[in-house]
Every structure is written in structure tokens, then in C-alpha cells.
């Protein structure tokens, strides 16, 4: 674990010591007293306490800082347990200053400054570059919703779109399973810490996710999942996704939280039309009545996501001018599935002549080869 | 009394292959019983002209002199045919019998078919004939129908529509030759716009490169994916015919009697199919009628279903593709037709045709595919510069192409192609030579640096290209560099060219 990760863990320990809140940190930053959340750790910790009377702060914040100072020993204890658990479980720490921090989160309020992951961290970047779909739904779904989940996620996986869900039973489990089975990419956002397997029945999926997917949580290592954490977990699912798919939702389902977070974060919500005679489906149907989009085929969704990612690629392309970055992007695209030069040209915003010459370069380097008019990765892909 | 000439010479011409041969027509009238003979290996269309001439003269107020009339058409050892000799023979008779005045030593050229009432009509092959006339003729008379041919040949002549007009020219001194340059109607505004190839970037780029450097092209794809359309689009993005090209196109079309005045002169697009016969393809050795290869000169030869062509037919194409000419042998003489065209082949990539389609719609086994494609392999494929696969356009792209919101793209592309061709004209100092057709294409001529040559040979080895394939790689790379406006070739140009070389 590197120094930066340790300091982020210390910050987390301070935050979870029950003293300073997210709002206090926000206030400190907005008043220019600290420039980064890490400034309350290490040497900053003492300084903040000593100079607290000189600062123009609300009395609440001043009190919190005093509480924080007094809780030092508790904080150190927490930190020690975090480090132990993180090392044991191969957990990495991502903060808002990391380049892997989801770019879109910077424009949303209420996103965690630090979070924890286990598994393949590249998926965070993939989420941004290829787009992602949040797939959520009931823990006791009907067969119909399960089949639909499987079919939709399969199509997303073929396109390289990342499937985001919450590793709950039912729809969530199916979504992860379908993505993993189809060599797709998937992220599970956990309510407890990243090492906390909840529900325990999903241990098999959890292991597969650690191996081929990604586990993400804003809760520190070792934290048990508690009932009140679930709604805030749901807001991360929607924040990570470009669109939110509700496969089945009862009238008082947590899934509805995810949908309303998605709507307030400006993401499109699609709902699978379901049985009107089943109370377990009414939540979704009411969403439809309130203006959610009907989920009929995966291609509408894929199209929507592709529009989003196309803009991102163009933005990213503005500061890419060396060919190796473009080549990496080509290999990225090909890792999802074999493609023709025409397909690639629709995905990568560079002139066709440049694209073809890069393809030949890659081919001569034995990285890709042409088969039946399509380019395929020689290694890595499936 | 002024001595009446007993023999008079008039000049005319007949077409032999793609060349006109000037012939002298001597007419003599000597006392004796009235006879009328035409000699000089003439076929019946010429011998029958006696009847037309007799009637035309009488109905225009002239007469056929009494006595032995002998007409000799030279060169006497060559077979000739055609009714264009009517007018010169009639003129010779009128001069020799003193019915029309002419100063001694004047050279008169005439051609045209006579009708019984004295009208003069044009005959096929006029453009070829008029192109071979030297500048030493004092009088040039052509039928009014042949204005466009005269324009192509760039000659100044007097048009005559009836025997009365002919009389006026000589009796009243009314000879006033005109130029017919303005009569050439070159049309290029009927084309399929390149924007319909949306979503088929590779094919679109391939036909652009092909048009710029005169590169032979092969398109493989499922039935109905737009290969024929792509061929027509290629014709549309080629530059407007230059006056010289236009007259060549016109001459060969007019000779074959295929010229349609309403359509004007357009870039040839000749369509050949697997069942085509040898003489349809190369030309007929009986009457020297040009074949599809010769007709495609300056344009496109489009071979549909190329994978279904018998191997023998494909072999016939090899020589024209290499030397840019086609030869016909008739009675021991070889006649050469120019045949500088872009060869475009279109066909299925496999037996079921679905090899490149989305999903796994192809039902052929790898062996079947190999066997199917091997038809194209070897020396023939070597002569193809650019190979591209094509796939059916998806429904949503199809919708977009039918909307045509972006306006036409072909005019801009055509300008680009014209510019790139100018660059090549400068390089090879000849408007008829392009990157795809130049005989010697070494690294120096093509301006490829050492690293570029190394890269190209690496690519050639990797792709298993022959020496000819390697040369094609350099040529296509040169065209790409020209399109990008680069003086020296770069590795990227070779890299792009390599994409269009298929590794079988």
C-alpha cells in the first residue's frame, strides 16, 4: 500500500470516527482553509486544531474539529484495522485526486471523495470510455425479468459496455452472472466494506467478480453492511452508470431509490414492462407512468450509451495526438469483439486513412490479425 | 476548247480497326457503251452505290455521263466496305464530266452516303476517319450528321446535306469551312453520389484511391451489398473527360454505332459477365468490331460475379491489364486498340456470399471458402491493386442515405481526384500515365525513402506478397501520399495501402 493510499485511509478513519462530516470538509475546502481533503490528515490534523479559533468557521465546524482532535486514539485504532483488512483482502484505495476516479462524479454532488475497490481497476476507466449500464431490480424476480436481464446484459457485454449492479440476490446476481458468463465487464457496488460479502449466498459471484470484475464500496474495509447504507449504495450504482435499467421493482423496493437517484443525476431510466397483476412489478410500472422509458430492445440502450461515449472519446481525443494512444484505443475496442475497419471507424474519431495505417502497424507488430474481413486481437481477447 | 480531264481524283477514307486509312478515288470516263464499274476490293455495300449515285444525280438535276465509267478506290489491296464512298464517287463523276467546275490540282475530301433523292447522310466510323485527314486538303465536305465527329477530330469542314448544297459549294464558290469544337457534348452530371456509401468507409476510401491513381479494384461482398453501385460511383468521381479523352471515347462508340446523341459523351462504364464470349470481350476479328475491353478505354471495365468467370476468360484480361492495349488479329494483320481503363471486379467472397456479413451467417466450411477463393488467386489477383470487402448497409444507415441531408459529396471528391491526377501528370510528364499504370515504378520515381522501402518489404513478406504485389503496394502508397499532398511517401501511406492488399 503506498503513501497516498495510507493518507486516504487515514482520512477515511477520521470521517468514520463519528466526528468530522463530509459537510465540514466541504466547508473547509470552500473557505480555502484546506485545498484537498488530505490536508486534514498527518501534519494538517494538529494545525487544524491549533488554528481553529483564527479561522472563519461556523461554530458547528469548530466543535467538530475539537471532537476530532480528542478522538485521535480511536482514529488510530480504526486506521490500523483498515490497513490490516485492506492488506489481507487486496483492497486498493481510490481518491478524487486519482486518475481512475470516475470523471463524471466530479460534476455530481454527494459523491465520496475516497472509495475502495477490489479486482480489476481498469474497469473504472472502461466505464467512462465505453459506457456503462446500471442493471437493478427485485431480489425475488419472476423468470421473465431474469430472462430479460440475461439477454440484455449479454448484448451489453458483446459491445464492451460495463454492467453495474449491487450484487444483491435476484436481478443483481443475474446481471453480474450474465456479464461474467459472456466475457463482459461488470462492477458490483457493495453496501458494506469491499471485503464484506453480503448476502453470503453470493460468495461464488463475489469471488468471480474479484477475479474478472470489480468490487467497489465507499465503506471502509471491515465495515459490515447495515440496513441504512443500502440507499446510499444505490446512489453510487446510478452515478457509475450512463443509463439505469429497472428490470422489476415492487412498490416499496430499494430499486426505486436507484431509479430516482439516476433521474436526479440526469441519467436515462429504462423500465422493463411487466405484469400489471403482480404487486412485485407495480413499482416499475408506476415509474413508466411517471415518464421512464420503456425497455424493449437492448439496441436503443446501446445506441444511447454510444452517443455518450462518442462525445467522451472526442474530448479525450483532443489531447491524444500520439499514435500509441489511438492504437491502445483500437485494441480496447477489439477486446470486446472482432470488428471490421468500417465498424472501428464508427467507434474511433480519427480519419479512416489514419485508422487503416494504424491497423497495419498493429498487424505487422503481431498484435492483431485479419480474419474473414474482421480484425481480432491475437492475444488477450477471447 | 479547254481540255476536259478524263481522270479525276477525290479523297476519302475508311476505317480499319481503330485507324482511318486515306484512300484516293479515281474516276475516269472514256467513250464507249455506257458502263459503271467500281474496283478495288470493294464489298457489295460499295458496289451497290452505283444505283444510289445514278438516282441521286438525276434527282438533283445532274446526269450520269454516257460512256465507260470506271471508279478505282485505293489502296487496291485492302478490303473496304461502307456507303461513305457514295459522295466522293459522285463528286468525281461530276468533276470529270465537267458538270461542276474545279481548278486543276485542288484536293477534295468528301464522305457521305447518298439517298436516291440526293440527300447526304452520315455513316458510322466518321470520327476515326476524320481524325486521319491531313491538313493538305483544299475542300473538306462532310454530311451534316457528322458535326460532332468533326468536332472530336478538330477539323474545319463544310457540311453538306444535299447534292444541291454540293453544287452551290463549287459553282458559286460557296466553300466556307467551319470548326465544330462546340459540337462536342461532354456530360458528367449523371452519377450516383458517393454519400450512399455511408457506413462503408473502406469501400468508399478504396474507390477514391482507385480513381486517383487508376488502380484496379476488387470488391468482395454478399449479393446486394452495393458492389455495382460502388462501381457506378467510381465512374462519377473520376474527373470530367478531357477533350482528347472525349474524342477517343466518342470515336470508338461511334465506330461501334453505339453513340447516343441525347446522352452525349460520358465516361465509359462497360459491364461484363461470366458468360461473355471471347469476341465480345476482345473484339471481333471478322469485322474488327471493338470488344468490351476496347470500349472501356478511358473508363471502367466492371466484371460482375468475377468469381464465376471461367479461368480462360480471366486469362484473356491479363494482357490488357498489363499493357493497356488489346489486339485483334485479322488475316495476319494485328490491329491494336488502346485499352486504358480501371478494372473493377465484384464478386461473392464465398459460395454462400455471406462471409463478411454481421453475425455468423456464412454456412461455408473453411475448405469450401479456400477452394472458392482460389479461383481468384495467383497471377490474376496479382494484377489487382486494391482489394476491399463490403457488407450490407444496416437499415438505419440506409435510412440516412436516402434522406440526403448532407448534400452531394461527389463534386468535391471529383475535384480532389482531378487535383491528384494533376500531380501525377507533373511527375510522369504525360497525362495518360498514372501511379497505377506507369511501367517503371521504383522507389526513386515514387519518392519512397529508405525506411519506407524497408517497411514496405517487411509488410510484403508478412503478407506473403509477390514481387508484383510489392510493387502494387508502393504504387497504391504513392497515390495515398498524393491524396494527402505529401511529396515524399511515409510509412503511414504504405501501412494504409497494405490494408487493401488481401492476404489469402
Same domain, A149 and A272: yes
Q: Both A123 and A267 in a single domain?
A: yes
CB B106 within 8 A of CB B138: yes
Give the span between the Cα atoms of B344 and A93, in whole angstroms.
60
> How many C-beta neighbours within 10 Å does residue B131 have?
21
- In the predicted model, what is the mean pLDDT of residues A20-38? 86
Nearest to B201 among A352, A364, A370 (CB): A352
Q: What angle is formed at CA B478 by the lines to CA B339 and CA B243, rounded to 5 degrees?
A: 40
The answer as to whether A113 is a domain residue is: yes
Longest dimension (CA), chain A: 73
Q: Which residues of B touch A363 (CB under 8 A)?
A: 462, 498
Asked whether B128 and B150 are in contact (CB, 8 A), the reply is no
For A374, which residue in chain B has the nearest alpha carbon? B356
How many beta carbons lie within 10 A of that of residue A122, not counting itself? 12
Question: Does the residue A312 lie in any domain?
Answer: no
B293 by Cβ neighbours in 10 Å (0-12 / 13-18 / 19+) ranks as: buried
Mark which residues 312-351 of A lie under 8 Å from B by CB: 340-342, 345-346
Residue A14 has pLDDT above 60, yes or no: yes
Specify the residue for cell string 453501385.
B229
Residue A88 corresponds to which cell in the numbers above? 489481507
Whether the per-residue pLDDT at A49 is higher than 80: the answer is: yes
CA distance B476 to B454: 16
Cα–Cα distance measured from residue A28 to residue A36, given in angstroms and rounded to the nearest whole number: 9
Taking phi first (over 0 means left), then psi (-120 to 50 degrees means alpha), and beta for anything else, what does residue B378 get?
Answer: left
d(CA B228, CA B300): 12
Question: If you average pLDDT over residues B23-29, what whole number do you get?
Answer: 93
Answer for the pair B294, B283: CB distance below 8 angstroms, yes or no.
Answer: yes
For A353, which residue in chain B has the nearest alpha carbon? Answer: B496
Q: Is the CB of B355 less than 8 angstroms away from the CB of A373? A: yes
Q: Locate B130 and state its grid cell.
A: 476524320
CA trace torsion B36, B42, B43, B45 (10° rounding): -60
Q: How far apart are alpha carbons A156 and B355 in whole angstroms?
A: 24
pLDDT tens digits, one per residue of B265-296: 888 999 999 999 998 999 888 778 889 999 99
**CA-to-CA distance for B235 and B266, rounded, in angstroms?**
9
| Contact criterion met (CB < 8 Å) for A346 and B199 | yes
Q: Are residues A145 and A209 in the same domain?
A: yes
Q: C-alpha grid cell for residue B153? A: 477530330
Query: For residue B426, how many other CB atoms are within 10 A of its CB?
Result: 8
B239-262 pLDDT, tens per residue? 988 888 888 888 888 888 778 777
- Residue B1 scores a pLDDT above 50: no
Q: Smallest CA–CA separation between A213 and chain B, in Å?
A: 27
Query: From CA B457, how far away is CA B183, in angstroms rounded?
Result: 51
B-chain residues near A373 (CB < 8 A): 349, 355-356, 389, 391
Question: Between chains, do A360 and B496 touch, taking CB under 8 Å as contact?
Answer: yes
| CB contact burial B389-419 (16+ within 10 A = b; e otherwise) | bbbbbeeebeebbeeeeeeebbbebbebbee
- Specify whether A167 is located in the same domain as A240: yes
Chain A residue with CA closest to B392: the answer is A342
Distance, in Å, from the CA atom of B376 to the CA atom of B104, rounded to the nearest integer, reads 65
| CA B77 to each of CA A208, B22, B42, B107, B128: distance values in angstroms, whole numbers, following the listed order | 93, 13, 10, 23, 21
Q: Does A373 touch chain B (CB under 8 A)?
A: yes
Contact across the interface for A358 and B389, Cβ inside 8 Å: no
Q: Do B459 and A372 touch (CB under 8 A)?
A: no
Residue A41 scores a pLDDT above 60: yes
Q: Same structural domain for residues A222 and A282?
A: yes
Whether A183 is covered by a domain: the verdict is: yes
> Does A314 reside within a domain?
no
At residue A119, the 3 state secondary structure works out as strand
Give the confidence band of B142 by pLDDT, cuts at 50, 70, 90: very high
Q: Are residue A176 and residue A83 in the same domain, yes or no?
A: no
Q: What is the average pLDDT value for chain B, to the nearest integer?
A: 87
CATH number assigned to the domain comprising residue A359: 1.10.10.10
Instruction: Give me chain A's average pLDDT, please.
Output: 89
Tell me what ipTM this predicted complex has.
0.78
The torsion of the CA quartet A264, A265, A269, A275, rounded to 10 degrees, works out to -50
Do A213 and A77 lie in one domain? The reply is no
Strand partners, B221: B390
Tell me if A308 is assigned to some domain: no
Domains and CATH numbers, chain B: 7-183 (3.30.230.10), 194-427 (3.40.50.300), 440-504 (1.10.8)
If pLDDT is split at 50, 70 and 90, which confidence band does B382 have? confident
CATH number, domain at A282?
3.40.50.450
Contact A342 B199 (CB under 8 A): yes
Q: CA B9 → CA A128, A289, B20, B160, distances in Å?
A: 90, 100, 19, 20
Which chain B residue shows the shortest CA-CA distance from A358? B495
Rg (CA), chain A: 22
First to last CA, chain A: 32
Predicted pLDDT of residue A2 = 87
- Residue holding cell 480484425? A375
SS3 assignment, position B400:
helix
> In sequence order, what are the residues at sequence separation of 6 or more whose Cβ sits closer than 8 angstroms to the Cβ of residue B38?
B46, B47, B49, B50, B71, B72, B73, B89
Q: What does the pLDDT read at residue A380?
A: 56
- All 3 cell numbers of residue B175? 466553300
pLDDT given for residue B391 in this prediction: 86
Q: Nearest chain B Cα to A355, which residue?
A: B496
Q: Is B368 or B172 the better-scoring residue by pLDDT?
A: B368
Cβ(B479)–Cβ(B185) under 8 Å? no
Neighbours of A19 (CB within 10 A): 19
Chain A hits for B493, CB-CB cut-off 8 Å, are 357
CB pairs under 8 A between A and B: 64
Please, which pLDDT band fits residue B330 given cuts at 50, 70 and 90? confident
- Of A54, A89, A124, at which residue does a domain stop? A89
For residue B48, pLDDT beyond 70: yes
> Is pLDDT at A252 greater than 90 in this prediction?
no
- Name the residue in chain A with its Cα closest to that of B366: A372
Nearest by CB to residue B202, choosing from A341, A357, A358, is: A341
Name the residue facing B201 among A342, A361, A370 (closest C-beta): A342
In angstroms, the Cα distances linking B425 to B43, B431, B473 are: 45, 5, 20
Provide the pLDDT confidence category of residue A317 given band limits of 50, 70 and 90.
Answer: low
Between the alpha carbon of residue A205 and those of residues A120, A172, A186, A363, the distances in Å are 15, 10, 11, 37
Strands (E), B293-421: 300-303, 325-330, 333-338, 342-347, 386-390
Domains identified in chain A, total number = 3
CB contact under 8 A, B389 and A360: no
Rounded CA-CA distance B317/B315 in Å is: 5
Q: Which residues contact A67 (CB under 8 A, 6 or more apart)?
A: A19, A20
Is residue A185 located within the same domain as residue A223? yes
Q: Specify the pLDDT at position A306.
A: 86
Per cent of chain B over pLDDT 70 is 95
A120, A212 Cβ separation under 8 angstroms? yes
Domain presence at residue A72: yes
Between β-strands A162-165 and A132-136, what pairing exists: parallel, antiparallel or unpaired?
parallel
> Residue B357: which pLDDT band, with cuts at 50, 70 and 90?
confident
Full residue range of the structural domain in which residue A350 is found: 320-377
A294 shares a domain with A331: no
A223 and A341, same domain (yes or no):
no
| Confidence (pLDDT) at B314 | 87
**Residue in this structure with the C-alpha cell 481498469, named with its chain if needed:** A122
Closest residue on chain A to B208 (Cα)? A353
Band the pLDDT of B401: cuts 50, 70, 90.
Answer: low
B356 contacts in A (CB within 8 Å)?
340, 372-374
Looking at the fold, whether A61 and A129 belong to one and the same domain comes out as: no
- Kindly determine whether residue B503 and residue A370, on different chains, have CB atoms separated by under 8 Å: yes
Examine the pLDDT at B415 and tell me if it is beyond 60: yes
Q: Is residue A315 part of a domain?
A: no
Q: What is the mean pLDDT of residues A168-173?
A: 94
Residue A319 above 60 pLDDT?
no
CA distances from B431 to A337, B80, B245, B426 (A): 46, 34, 10, 8
Name the residue among A283, A288, A243 with its Cα closest to residue A263. A243
Q: Which of A55, A89, A123 is the last residue of a domain?
A: A89
Q: Which residue has the cell 453513340?
A: B259
Residue A116 pairs in a beta bridge with: A93, A217
Residues B158-212 have pLDDT tens digits of: 999 999 999 988 887 788 888 888 777 887 777 888 888 888 889 999 999 999 9
CB B402 within 8 A of CB B195: no
Asked if B141 and B110 touch (Cβ cutoff 8 Å), the reply is: yes
CB contact under 8 A, A360 and B493: no
Decide which of A63, A89, A115 is a domain's last residue: A89
What is the pLDDT at residue A381? 45
Q: Confidence class of residue B2 from pLDDT cuts 50, 70 and 90?
A: very low
pTM of the model: 0.72
**Which residues on A lie below 8 Å from B477 (Cβ)?**
none
Report the candidate in B146, B148, B155, B62 with the shortest Cα–Cα distance to residue B111: B146
CB distance A159 to A298 below 8 Å = no
Asked if A257 and A219 sit in the same domain, the reply is yes
Work out the pLDDT band at A327, boundaries 50, 70, 90: confident
The answer to whether A342 contacts B480, with C-beta atoms less than 8 Å apart, is no
The three cell numbers of residue B117 are 433523292
Tally of residues, chain A: 382
When CB atoms are compared, the residue of B349, B492, B503 closest to A357 is B492
Which of B8, B180, B3, B39 has the alpha carbon at shortest distance from B107?
B8
Which whole number is the average pLDDT over B462-483?
Answer: 89
At residue A246, φ and ψ (nearest 5 deg) are: -100, 115
The predicted model gives B307-325 an average pLDDT of 88
Contact of B38 with B69, CB cutoff 8 Å: no
Q: Is A309 a domain residue? A: no
Long-range contacts of B460-464 (CB under 8 A, 24+ apart): B462/A363, B462/A364, B463/B498, B463/B501, B463/B503, B464/B503
Residue B403 pLDDT grade (very low, low, confident, very high; cuts 50, 70, 90) = low
Residue B22, burial from CB neighbour count under 10 angstroms (0-12, 13-18, 19+): middle
Amino acid at each position: 500500500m503506498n503513501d497516498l493510499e495510507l493518507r486516504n485511509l487515514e482520512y477515511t478513519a477520521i470521517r468514520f470516527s463519528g466526528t468530522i462530516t463530509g459537510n465540514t470538509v466541504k466547508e473547509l475546502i470552500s473557505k480555502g482553509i484546506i485545498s484537498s481533503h488530505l490536508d486534514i490528515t498527518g501534519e494538517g490534523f494538529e494545525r487544524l486544531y491549533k488554528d481553529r479559533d483564527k479561522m472563519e468557521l461556523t461554530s458547528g465546524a469548530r466543535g467538530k474539529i475539537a471532537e476530532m482532535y480528542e478522538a485521535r486514539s480511536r482514529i488510530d485504532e480504526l486506521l490500523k484495522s483498515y490497513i490490516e483488512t485492506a492488506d489481507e483482502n487486496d483492497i486498493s484505495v481510490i481518491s478524487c485526486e486519482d486518475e481512475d476516479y470516475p470523471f463524471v462524479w466530479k460534476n455530481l454532488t454527494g459523491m465520496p471523495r475516497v472509495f475502495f475497490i477490489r479486482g480489476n481497476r481498469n474497469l473504472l476507466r472502461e466505464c467512462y470510455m465505453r459506457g456503462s449500464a446500471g442493471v437493478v431490480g427485485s431480489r425475488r424476480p419472476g423468470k421473465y425479468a431474469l430472462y430479460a436481464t440475461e439477454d440484455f446484459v449479454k448484448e451489453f457485454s458483446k459491445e464492451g459496455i460495463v454492467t453495474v449492479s449491487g450484487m444483491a440476490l435476484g436481478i443483481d446476481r443475474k446481471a453480474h452472472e450474465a456479464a461474467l458468463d459472456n466475457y463482459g465487464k461488470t462492477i458490483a457496488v457493495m453496501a458494506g466494506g469491499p471485503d464484506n460479502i453480503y448476502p453470503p449466498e453470493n460468495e461464488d459471484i463475489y469471488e468471480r467478480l474479484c477475479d474478472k470484475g470489480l468490487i467497489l464500496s465507499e465503506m471502509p474495509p471491515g465495515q459490515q453492511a447495515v440496513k441504512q447504507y443500502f440507499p446510499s449504495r444505490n446512489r453510487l450504482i446510478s452515478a457509475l452508470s450512463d443509463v439505469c435499467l429497472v428490470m422489476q421493482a415492487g412498490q416499496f423496493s430499494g430499486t426505486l431509490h436507484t431509479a430516482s437517484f439516476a433521474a436526479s443525476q440526469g441519467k436515462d431510466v429504462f423500465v422493463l414492462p411487466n405484469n400489471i397483476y403482480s404487486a412485485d412489478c407495480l413499482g416499475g410500472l408506476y415509474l413508466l407512468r411517471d415518464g421512464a422509458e420503456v425497455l424493449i430492445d437492448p439496441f436503443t440502450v446501446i445506441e444511447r450509451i454510444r452517443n455518450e461515449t462518442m462525445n467522451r472519446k472526442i474530448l479525450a481525443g483532443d489531447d491524444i495526438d500520439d499514435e500509441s494512444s489511438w492504437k491502445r484505443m483500437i485494441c480496447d475496442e477489439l477486446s470486446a469483439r472482432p470488428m471490421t475497419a468500417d465498424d472501428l471507424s464508427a467507434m474511433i474519431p480519427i480519419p479512416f486513412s489514419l485508422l487503416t495505417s494504424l491497423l497495419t502497424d498493429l498487424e505487422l507488430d503481431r498484435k492483431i490479425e485479419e480474419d474473414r474481413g474482421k480484425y481480432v486481437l491475437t492475444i488477450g481477447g477471447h | 476548247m479547254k481540255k476536259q480531264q478524263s481522270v479525276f481524283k477525290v479523297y476519302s477514307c475508311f476505317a480499319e480497326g481503330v485507324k482511318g486509312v486515306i484512300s484516293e478515288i479515281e474516276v475516269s470516263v472514256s467513250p464507249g457503251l455506257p458502263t459503271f464499274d467500281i474496283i478495288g476490293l470493294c464489298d457489295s455495300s460499295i458496289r451497290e452505290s452505283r444505283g444510289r449515285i445514278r438516282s441521286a444525280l438525276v434527282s438533283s438535276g445532274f446526269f450520269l455521263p454516257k460512256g465507260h465509267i470506271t471508279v478505282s478506290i485505293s489502296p487496291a489491296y485492302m478490303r473496304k466496305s461502307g456507303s461513305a464512298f457514295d459522295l466522293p464517287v459522285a463528286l468525281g463523276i461530276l468533276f470529270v464530266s465537267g458538270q461542276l467546275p474545279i481548278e486543276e490540282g485542288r484536293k477534295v475530301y468528301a464522305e457521305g452516303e447518298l439517298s436516291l433523292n440526293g440527300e447526304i447522310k452520315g455513316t458510322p466510323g466518321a470520327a476515326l476517319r476524320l481524325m486521319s485527314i491531313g491538313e493538305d486538303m483544299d475542300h473538306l465536305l462532310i454530311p451534316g450528321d457528322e458535326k460532332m465527329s468533326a468536332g472530336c477530330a478538330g477539323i474545319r469542314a463544310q457540311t453538306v446535306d444535299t447534292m444541291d448544297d454540293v453544287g452551290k459549294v463549287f459553282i458559286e464558290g460557296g466553300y466556307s469551312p467551319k470548326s465544330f469544337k462546340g459540337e462536342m457534348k461532354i456530360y458528367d452530371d449523371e452519377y450516383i453520389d458517393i454519400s450512399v456509401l455511408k457506413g462503408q468507409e473502406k469501400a468508399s476510401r478504396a474507390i477514391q484511391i482507385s480513381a486517383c491513381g487508376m488502380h484496379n479494384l476488387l470488391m468482395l461482398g454478399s449479393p446486394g451489398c452495393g458492389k455495382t453501385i460502388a462501381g457506378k460511383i467510381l465512374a462519377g468521381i473520376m474527373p470530367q473527360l478531357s477533350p482528347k479523352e472525349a474524342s477517343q471515347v466518342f470515336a470508338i462508340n461511334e465506330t461501334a454505332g453505339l453513340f447516343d446523341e441525347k446522352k452525349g459523351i460520358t465516361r465509359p462504364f462497360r459491364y461484363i459477365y461470366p458468360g461473355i464470349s471471347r469476341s465480345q470481350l476482345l473484339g471481333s476479328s471478322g469485322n474488327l468490331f471493338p470488344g468490351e475491353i476496347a470500349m472501356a478505354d478511358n473508363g471502367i471495365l466492371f466484371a460482375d460475379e468475377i468469381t464465376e468467370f471461367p479461368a480462360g476468360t480471366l486469362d484473356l484480361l491479363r494482357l490488357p491489364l498489363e499493357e493497356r492495349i488489346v489486339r485483334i488479329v485479322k488475316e495476319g494483320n494485328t490491329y491494336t486498340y488502346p485499352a486504358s481503363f480501371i478494372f473493377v471486379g465484384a464478386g461473392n467472397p464465398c459460395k454462400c456470399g455471406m462471409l463478411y456479413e454481421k453475425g455468423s451467417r456464412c454456412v461455408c466450411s473453411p475448405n469450401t471458402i479456400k477452394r472458392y477463393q482460389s479461383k481468384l488467386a495467383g497471377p490474376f489477383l496479382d494484377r489487382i491493386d486494391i482489394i476491399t470487402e463490403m457488407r450490407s448497409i444496416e437499415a438505419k444507415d440506409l435510412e440516412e442515405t436516402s434522406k440526403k441531408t448532407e448534400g452531394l459529396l461527389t463534386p468535391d471528391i471529383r475535384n480532389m481526384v482531378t487535383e491528384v491526377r494533376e500531380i501525377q501528370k507533373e511527375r510522369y510528364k504525360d497525362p495518360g500515365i498514372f501511379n497505377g499504370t506507369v511501367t517503371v515504378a521504383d522507389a526513386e520515381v515514387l519518392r519512397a525513402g529508405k525506411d519506407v522501402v524497408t517497411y514496405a518489404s517487411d509488410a510484403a513478406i508478412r503478407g506473403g506478397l509477390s514481387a508484383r504485389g510489392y510493387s502494387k503496394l508502393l504504387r497504391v502508397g504513392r497515390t495515398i501520399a498524393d491524396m494527402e499532398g505529401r511529396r515524399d511517401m511515409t510509412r503511414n501511406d504504405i501501412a494504409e495501402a497494405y490494408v487493401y492488399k488481401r492476404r489469402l
